[in-house]
Chains A and B, each alone.
Chain A
Amino acid sequence: MLQLALMAFFAAFICYFVQWTFGQPMVDQPICVGLVAGIIFGDMTTGIIIGAAMEAIFIGNVNVGGATSAEPVSGTVMAICFVTKMGMDQGTAIALATAVAIFANIIYSLIFNVLMSFWAPLIDRAAATGETRNIFICHFSGALIMNAGFAIPVFLAVWFGAEPVANLVNVIPSTVTAGFNAAAGLLPAVGMALLLRMLWDSKIAIYFLLGFVLYSYLGLPMVGVAAVAAVIVAVTAFRELDLMNLRDQIKKLRETGVTAGTLSAEKIEEEDFFA
């Protein structure tokens, strides 16, 4: 089990380290974690399938400014470990991983927001030397420790959890497995709702329905939906820009004390000139 736990630690560490150290290229999104963990556990295809399923659940989990609701990397790595190495049912693994993600988030937030604050005096000291080299050392040593810390929950979860979980899998009745699958199907709704909250505005909310219908009734693939969306955005942009120009012109006319319709364009220019 230690070997599996180390593999899980390694997978999570790679995802975190690349994500935070190389400009947040979104490698910590479950869809990429699935690829990395799948390769490490020796079953890339299963890894990616589980990663894609987890992505739908955690897509609304925006990791900004240290405020997260769940921490998807640990959960995804664990689900892939359990499915590929212990033959757990996928729906069960995904539901279980979601629970782990919530608990892992507690440790994650603790490291991210509280523990790393202890690095603050080191930054001050490095800056006070006036050497950029010291900043480099301070910054990247902190990076190694922070990202290794992030990967500890999944290490523990696999090390201690794998055996009891493996035994449990054999005794779970089929109705419970069906329930886990139902939960796995509904969980993305929470992710979508989180995203919606970010962009929701009653004036444009109707576009959500458009997207839904484009997929469910018209059966457009995602690229097709994106293309339709791009057209709508472009048309709206042109119209709004025209409106903005109009508004500016009206404002200018008002400022020069002219109401539309009473003066010809020439006279307006004259007024402008003398103002």
Chain B
Amino acid sequence: MNNEELSTQEDAANEKISISTKGLSSEDRRMLHGIFLHSFNIFAMYCGGAKAGASGFLWSLAPAFERFYPDKERRRDAMVRHTSWYNITSNVGTFCMGLVAAMEKENSEKPDFDTQSIDAVKASLMGPMSGIGDAIFWGVLRVIAAAVGMALCADTGSIIGPIVFLIIYNVPSILCRWSLTVLGYRVGSNFITKLYEGGLMKLITKLAGILGLIMIGAMTASSVTFSTIITIPAGSGDPVSVQTYLDTIFTGLIPILYTLGCLKLLRKNINVTWLIIGTMVVGILLGLLGIE
């Protein structure tokens, strides 16, 4: 295969990557709307360690099953195939749903289609998509939303706080949910592989990490609080407050050290529950000893 052929193939692949429903038939559009709306209910019931979101996945793809398999026998086969374990971060999982819908469409048209490939694609998407989805939505977006929301209402109890929190989180979340539904339906399953090979995935993870770390840093400064009331007697003058010394060295020295200490313990696989209990004990001891 020479370079020219390769590049035209690439162009074709690039062209396909679109999140607009333009050019799709009205039936396609109606089905994608259905999947999008149903996908909100994905984890309404989480079927534990056995099947996780299997019933939600079936429910989300119901519009596709109804459309591609008017024949009840074939629809039953397709539905039984999808009763296996499913778990992808709720708002990015629609990519997998769109992709599966596209593959089910192919399956309904071609009698020799290998249905195992559907399961394979589904299974291979779960790990990476959840990893990225959790990092971006739970790790970064939720944190930014909470940081801004908390800052607005921690002292005043204003209703603006929770509302801003919900808006900051949900607007990108819902947009992402919709565009990934369309994207999944439009692109082939080689899309994710391409992202990985190009190193783009690594870059996205890194950028999300930077954004997250800055926000967590600011939140550590704002929400972890410590101030001591111990004073050192200074000869004939007024006693000197230890807190003033600590602040001169570095404002928020104890909070940042305590946080990094917790991180260090977590990375040594100490259970979080022990950290919480330990912190409570430390706090109560500080109170009893009159340090705070």
A126 neighbours in B (Cβ, 8 Å): 55, 58
* CB nearest neighbor in A for B271: A69
Q: Are A229 and B215 in contact (CB under 8 A)?
A: yes
Q: Are B79 and A56 in contact (CB under 8 A)?
A: no
Q: 1/0 per position for B270-283, CB-CB distance to A under 8 A?
A: 01110111011011
**Interface size classification for chain A:** 35 or more
The reply to whether the CB of A86 lies closer than 8 angstroms to some CB of chain B is: no
Q: Are A119 and B259 in contact (CB under 8 A)?
A: no
Total B residues in contact with A, Cβ cutoff 8 Å: 122
Q: Are A236 and B210 in contact (CB under 8 A)?
A: yes
B214 neighbours in A (Cβ, 8 Å): 207-208, 210-211, 214, 225, 228-229, 232
Tell me which of B3, B55, B216, B260 contacts A142 (CB under 8 A): B55
Interface residues in A197-216 (C-beta closer than 8 Å to B):
197-201, 204-205, 207-216
Q: 1/0 per position for A169-182, CB-CB distance to B under 8 A?
A: 00000011111111
A215 neighbours in B (Cβ, 8 Å): 217-219, 221-222
Interface residues in B55-108 (C-beta closer than 8 Å to A):
55-56, 58-59, 62, 65-66, 72-73, 75-76, 79-80, 82-83, 87, 89-91
Q: Are B169 and A139 in contact (CB under 8 A)?
A: no
Q: Are A179 and B284 in contact (CB under 8 A)?
A: yes
Q: How far is the CB of B132 from chain A (nearest CB, A)?
A: 12
Q: Are B138 and A62 in contact (CB under 8 A)?
A: yes
Tell me which of A64, A180, A225 contacts B89 (CB under 8 A): A64
Q: Are A197 and B267 in contact (CB under 8 A)?
A: yes
Interface of A toward B, CB cutoff 8 Å: 20-27, 29, 31-32, 34-35, 38, 44-49, 51-53, 55-56, 59, 62-66, 69-70, 95, 98-99, 102, 112-120, 123-124, 126-130, 132, 135-136, 138-140, 142-143, 146, 175-190, 192-201, 204-205, 207-217, 220-223, 225-226, 228-230, 232-233, 236-237, 240-241, 244, 272, 275
Report, nearest first, the 9 A-B pairs whose CB atoms are least far apart.
A179-B287, A211-B217, A183-B283, A130-B76, A142-B45, A193-B262, A45-B157, A117-B48, A23-B40
26 pairs, A vs B, C-beta closer than 8 Å: A20-B44, A23-B174, A48-B157, A49-B154, A64-B89, A112-B46, A113-B48, A127-B76, A129-B76, A132-B58, A140-B45, A142-B44, A146-B45, A183-B284, A186-B224, A186-B283, A190-B275, A192-B220, A193-B262, A199-B212, A200-B213, A207-B213, A212-B217, A215-B222, A223-B151, A240-B203
Interface of B toward A, CB cutoff 8 Å: 3, 39-52, 54-56, 58-59, 62, 65-66, 72-73, 75-76, 79-80, 82-83, 87, 89-91, 130, 134-135, 138-140, 142-151, 153-159, 161-162, 165-166, 169-170, 173-174, 177, 198-200, 203, 206-226, 251-252, 255-256, 258-260, 262-263, 265-267, 271-273, 275-277, 279-280, 282-288, 290-292
